[in-house]
Amino acid sequence: MGQAFGCYQVDQSNVAIKEHFGKFSDVLEPGCHCLPWCLGYQIAGGLSLRVQQLDVRCETKTKDNVFVTVVASVQYRAVAEKASDAFYRLTNTREQIQSYVFDVIRASVPKLELDSVFEQKNDIAKAVEEELEKAMSTYGFEIVQTLIVDIEPDVNVKRAMNEINAAARLRLAANEKAEAEKILQIKKAEGEAESKYLSGLGIARQRQAIVDGLRDSVLAFSENVPGTTAKDVMDMVLVTQYFDTMKEIGASSKSSSVFIPHGPGAVKDIAVQIRDGLLQASASQTN
């Protein structure tokens, strides 16, 4: 604003309060105005119509006895039509707004627990805005918007909350890990059971094939070589399997040293032992 030679300039988004011999006369809008100061006219002051912001930090206690600092951001502006009220009726607008914010927050937060304060911060902001709008409108101010921009619990409470959250997450991770290990053990046991079952089927089929092969060999040998008995054929089969076993032991690269009796007499002894074992098993079953 500027004043020279009885003229006064009011900047954009501002108004000026004009007085005549100390009494309110008019509200001057933006532009250039004639102000004959020699006739008792003067400018008492100016008022900005721009939106202003006030951040209010209020410490209070929740329902579960936790001290928190609530930061409310109030956006307000003077109403041009009520500029005289805004200029004359309040000495300190910011302190007045701050007092109303303190009053509403300290009446609302103690009714809520800490978690509810975070969840219902919009409701708290709305309550503050309604109270401010009702109170400040009589003084020529409009409340544009009120926001709860921050809720800060006590440092020790915040640390405890973080520890509780961390412990809950660790417990959940341990449960998930244990469940995964349980599933792995179950799957491993199922796999071993299936493997043993299939291995048993394979061994049974192998033995059945050996028995069928021996039977066919005995029958074929008896038919092609007259005068031979089943005993002679079995002795020959044992000798053949004996030499096959010796061949496999010698051909295996991972085999250790094996000491066994070797010679035709050894083959005869093996045949006698197998035959005696079969005869004893048959005798036991008969008795």
Q: Give the residue carrying structure tokens 């100016």.
A: 46
Summarize the chain as % helix, strand, coil (round to 5). 60, 25, 15
How wide is the angle at C-alpha 98 spanned by C-alphas 130 and 155, nearest 5°? 105
Max mean pLDDT among 25-39, 212-226, 238-252 falls in 25-39
Could you state, in order of their start, the residue ranges of all structural domains in the chain? 5-46, 50-152, 154-220
Q: Which amino acid is at 242?
A: Y
pLDDT recorded at residue 255 = 56
pLDDT recorded at residue 159 = 77
pLDDT at 17 over 70: yes
pLDDT recorded at residue 144 = 92
Under the banding of pLDDT at 50, 70 and 90, the label for residue 284 is: low
Q: How many whole angstroms from its chain centre is CA 232?
A: 78
* Contact yes or no for 246/255 (Cβ under 8 A): no
Counting Cβ atoms within 10 Å, is residue 248 exposed (0-12), middle (13-18) or buried (19+)?
Answer: exposed
Q: How many whole angstroms from its chain centre is CA 231?
A: 77
pLDDT at 173 over 60: yes
pLDDT at 3 over 60: no
* Contact yes or no for 161/121 (Cβ under 8 A): no
Q: With a threshold of 0.85, does the pTM exceed it?
A: no
Under the banding of pLDDT at 50, 70 and 90, the label for residue 175 is: confident
The mean pLDDT of 107-132, rounded to a whole number, is 89
Please determine, looking at this structure, whether the domain spanning 50-152 carries the CATH number 3.30.479.30.
yes
Share the mean pLDDT of the chain: 80
